[in-house]
Amino acid sequence: MSKIKLGFSALFMLVMLGMFAALASAEGFTPTPSNPAPGINVGTIDNSGNTNAHKTHGNFQNNTNSCANCHSTHNGQDAKLLKYKNVEYDMCLTCHDGTMGFYNVQKASGAGIFSASHESESMHKVSSGIKNGAAPGAYLNKDTNELTCSSCHNPHGSVNDRLLKENVIGGVPFAYTMVNGVKTPTQNGIKTINLALTDDPAYAAINASTTNSGLKITTSIGPKDNADKVNYAQFCAACHDDYAASRSAGRNSNSGKAAGNTNHDFLYTHTSNSSSQGRNCAACHYAHGTDITTLMDTAGKTIADLQKPEAQGGKNWTEAVAKDYMKDVSAGGSANKKFTNMAVCWSCHQSTHKIDTPVVPGGDYSGKTKIR
């Protein structure tokens, strides 16, 4: 009996060592242009015979093997021949969980975070089965398809750096105007959302390489210019159409609805589609989602910032104190907000004469620099 127990113990230890080795391997993986993720089969020579980066999404080389990373020709698990049987989110996460390294959607970024274990979280739950037409502020959008990654992104390529689709929800171009309550595409139809991009210092070696045909791993703080912010707001309004209604339309006293836009029942709305104001949805909200680690206070500080020594701009707080301070307790939830509670309002709406005289001890109202 003791030998059998010993055998099981040895087997258990081997299994555990294997698990730890696998974890260590995953954590220690360093992505490169020719080896972006474990298990991704890539080519290294481009159409001109030079060493080049692998393109997974769009801009494919003539000798591409990208299709096989997501599709199975003879044994697809759904009508699109995708390799994975579960929701689309699971397939995207095979790379974008940090395995690929470049863009990890489970790590805080300019787009927010897809979190599964933190307080105050709220997200575009692309793995929950929610319908596009169930979006808050959806008046005209009755789309019954499920919200997935491809509701907003085009995995086969896009003119946008983050693969944002030029057409969203049923193939309708997001560049439109409202005519008698009907979404009417603009004359040009499709508009590009240019993002304010900077090279990611974490991938300086890749960005400095001369063999990548211009491949850059970038970070972003959202739309670049005011016109792009309007386009971004229209993009979001493909689902949240009521939120993009113009407050300047006035109020029709007879119908109780905005004049010239009879489908929207509102008095006033916070303008998010004005090129002159330069505001957009991404000024206050994260596209992917938020949680306790991404929320900021009015000073633009996160819980990680608050734990830093005072000499480094922090408060030297413990993690527990910082989390309790940052926790979102709004009745409606954190709603993908960048700032906790209604600090998202106070970050912008600050008078030169503070409500408190003198200013609340420790108060800092510099978070407005995070709004754009």
Residue range 154-166: average pLDDT? 83
* Residues 301, 125, 275: CA angle, nearest 5 degrees: 60
Q: What is the Cβ-side half-sphere exposure of residue 119, based on CA atoms within 13 angstroms? A: 14
Q: Which residue has the higher pLDDT, 160 or 101?
A: 160
Residue range 52-71: average pLDDT? 80
Residue 290 pLDDT exceeds 90? yes
ω into 309 cis (within 30 of 0)? no
| Phi and psi, residue 205, nearest 5° | -65, -45
Q: Is 22 helix (H, G, I), strand (E, B) or coil?
A: helix
Residue 131 in tokens: 């319908």
Domain boundaries along the sequence of the chain = 295-372
So what's the pLDDT on residue 262? 45
Cβ(249)–Cβ(230) below 8 Å: no
Residue 134 in tokens: 């169930």
- Write out pLDDT tens, residues 74-121: 888 877 888 876 678 888 888 888 877 678 899 888 899 998 778 999
Answer left, alpha or beta for residue 210, where phi above 0 means left and psi between -120 and 50 means alpha: alpha
Closest of 74, 37, 77 to residue 57, by C-alpha: 37
Residue 334 pLDDT exceeds 80? yes
For the chain, the residue count is 372
So what's the pLDDT on residue 114? 92
ω into 361 cis (within 30 of 0)? no
Closest of 186, 113, 170, 111 to residue 138, by C-alpha: 170
Q: Which residue has the higher pLDDT, 187 or 136?
A: 136
So what's the pLDDT on residue 282? 87
